[in-house]
């Protein structure tokens, strides 16, 4: 495995109305170190040297790595040096005792983080993203789901039984679509950015796999002691006219189901942040605001807080991981239910892609709308929140709609 072939591109594209300096892209390459974690075994690659660690918790190992490389605080630029990459959904098992029933058919690392030797930070915007050039990509893909409609409906019915029994209040359930793929993964990612830009795009190239992320959702941003999380619950497509846009906004704003889902997730995020933030500092600065993007409207809340001076960066991330909007409530029990019903491991899907710098900044998305290319196939998972009044057939159709939105942009 050649470390020099590892590349990460992380792009934060703010929506219209945001300050232009909040938009930037990070290109990281020429790794000095790569941390890979699989089944609790940590592999630290530095150049051509490999070291295996099996007696440390992966989260504590990464936290210590960040602390040992600490630089003077610099909040003027998002990232100059540090770790960049992804933390897969199953890395939550290193934080809590959780079942391991789903089949790990892709075999991706649970954690993949690179310390780059070369970093480029540039300004970016939704407008510039829409002007990206791209080479030809493979368009006509033959997608197939990993479960039948009957199996999906049966799983949703079981989730609703858990809700009726008072076991959980909400759970996010996902299915995966796969297709043969022989195209250029990076060109496809650029094409997706041009067709449907979103705030937290990311591309990861490893010799064994590629990750194409088109996420609109932030799990955690840290700038010094200030932290922010932005859960999303509720999405509507843009209309073909201003009148249709207004109708979509009114429909989203008036949805009691999505208002209830978002309220539950906001409470969950607040509780998670309370575990690590200064007492009294956690606030919901915005609730149920509608954000406008090129193709969709999102209903978003913003929760902020302040970390104590002694709190380490990865402990703050661990308090939130994985995000409540893609697990459920209560989080741990919802994750247990998910693992008994989803047939395959989620991998990077609903984990987080982002960075933690050595100089006091970090930013992590929630890896939804994220595809994985490996061994001549491309895989896309889509899910949705299941609550007491969810209609299983409607939920199934919603996953097909989400998948079709991704497919239509290829």
Q: What's this model's pTM, rounded to 2 decimal places? A: 0.92
Among the listed residues 160, 195, 233, 306, the single catalytic one is 233
Residue 14: predicted pLDDT: 52
Confidence of residue 220 (pLDDT cuts 50, 70, 90): very high
Q: Is 46 a residue of the active site?
A: no
Here the CATH number for the domain that contains residue 240 is: 3.60.120.10
Confirm whether 217 is a catalytic residue: yes
Query: Is 137 within the bounds of a domain?
Result: no
DSSP 169: S
| From 90, 217, 336, 395, the catalytic residue | 217
Q: What single string gives the DSSP state of each residue in 294-354?
A: SSEEEEEEEEEEE--TT--HHHHHHHHPSPGGGTEESHHHHHHHHHHH-SB--TTTTSEEE
In a domain, residue 34? The reply is: yes
Average pLDDT over residues 70-76: 90
pLDDT single digits (tens) 282-312:
999 999 999 888 778 899 999 999 999 888 8
What's the pLDDT tens digit per position in 139-187?
456 889 999 999 999 999 999 999 999 999 999 999 999 999 988 999 9
**Residue 180: half-sphere exposure toward Cβ, Cα within 13 Å:** 3
In this structure, is residue 326 part of a structural domain?
A: yes
**In which band, very low, low, confident or very high, does the pLDDT at 398 lie, cut at 50, 70 and 90?**
confident
Question: Greater confidence, 10 or 227?
Answer: 227
Q: 318, 178 in Cβ contact below 8 A?
A: no
Q: Which domain holds residue 348?
A: 3-131+142-408
Of 208, 209, 263, 206, the closest CA to residue 234 belongs to: 263
Q: Which residue has the higher pLDDT, 295 or 203?
A: 203
Structural contact between residues 44 and 62, judged by C-beta atoms closer than 8 angstroms: no
Question: Are the C-beta atoms of 35 and 113 separated by less than 8 Å?
Answer: yes
Instruction: State the pLDDT confidence band at 1, using cuts at 50, 70 and 90.
Output: very low
CA gap 206, 211 in Å, rounded? 9
Number of domains in the chain: 1
Residue 145 CA neighbour count, 13 Å, CB half? 17
Q: Answer whether residue 268 is part of any domain.
A: yes
Q: Is residue 136 part of a domain?
A: no
Domain assignment of residue 89, yes or no:
yes
Q: What is the pLDDT of residue 12?
A: 66
Residue 27 is assigned to a structural domain of this protein: yes
Those residues whose C-beta lies under 8 Å from the C-beta of residue 392, and which sit 6 or more positions away, are: 152, 153, 156, 157, 160
Residue 18 lies in a domain: yes
Cα gap 172→402, rounded to integer Å: 14
Cα 399 to chain center, whole Å?
Answer: 17
pLDDT for 124 equals 65
């Amino acid at each position: 495995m050649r470390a020099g072939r590892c590349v990460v591109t992380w792009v934060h594209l703010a929506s219209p109305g945001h300050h232009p300096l909040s938009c930037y892209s990070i290109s990281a390459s020429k790794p000095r170190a790569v941390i890979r974690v699989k089944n609790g075994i940590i592999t630290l690659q530095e150049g051509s040297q490999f070291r295996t660690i099996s007696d440390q918790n992966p989260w504590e190992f990464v936290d210590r790595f960040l602390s040992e490389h600490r630089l003077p605080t610099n909040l003027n630029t998002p990232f100059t040096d540090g770790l960049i990459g992804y933390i897969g959904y199953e890395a939550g098992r290193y934080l809590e005792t959780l079942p391991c029933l789903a089949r790990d058919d892709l075999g991706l690392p649970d954690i993949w983080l690179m310390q780059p030797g070369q970093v480029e930070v540039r300004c970016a915007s939704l407008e510039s993203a829409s002007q990206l050039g791209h080479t030809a990509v493979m368009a006509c893909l033959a997608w197939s789901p990993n479960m039948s409609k009957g199996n999906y409906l049966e799983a949703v019915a079981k989730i609703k039984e858990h809700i009726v029994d008072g076991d959980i209040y909400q759970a996010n359930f996902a299915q995966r679509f796969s297709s043969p793929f022989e195209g250029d993964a990076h060109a496809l990612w650029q094409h997706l950015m041009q067709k449907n830009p979103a705030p937290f795009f990311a591309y990861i190239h490893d010799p064994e796999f590629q990750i194409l992320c088109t996420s609109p959702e932030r799990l955690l941003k840290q700038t010094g002691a200030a932290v922010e999380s932005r859960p999303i619950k509720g999405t509507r497509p843009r209309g073909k006219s201003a009148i249709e846009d207004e109708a979509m906004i009114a429909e989203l704003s008036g949805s009691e189901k999505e208002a209830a889902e978002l309220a539950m997730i906001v409470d969950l995020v607040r509780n998670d942040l309370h575990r690590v933030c200064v007492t009294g500092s956690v606030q919901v600065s915005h609730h149920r605001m509608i954000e406008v993007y090129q193709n969709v409207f999102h209903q978003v809340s913003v929760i902020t807080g302040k970390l104590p001076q002694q709190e380490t960066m990865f402990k703050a991330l661990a308090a939130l991981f994985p995000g409540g909007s893609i697990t459920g409530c209560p989080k741990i029990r919802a994750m247990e239910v998910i693992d008994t019903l989803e047939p395959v491991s989620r991998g990077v899907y609903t984990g987080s892609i982002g960075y933690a710098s050595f100089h006091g900044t970090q930013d992590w998305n929630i890896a939804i709308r994220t595809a994985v290319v490996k061994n001549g196939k491309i895989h896309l998972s889509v899910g949705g929140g299941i609550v007491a009044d969810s209609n299983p057939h409607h939920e199934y159709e919603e996953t097909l709609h989400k998948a079709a939105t991704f497919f239509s942009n290829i």
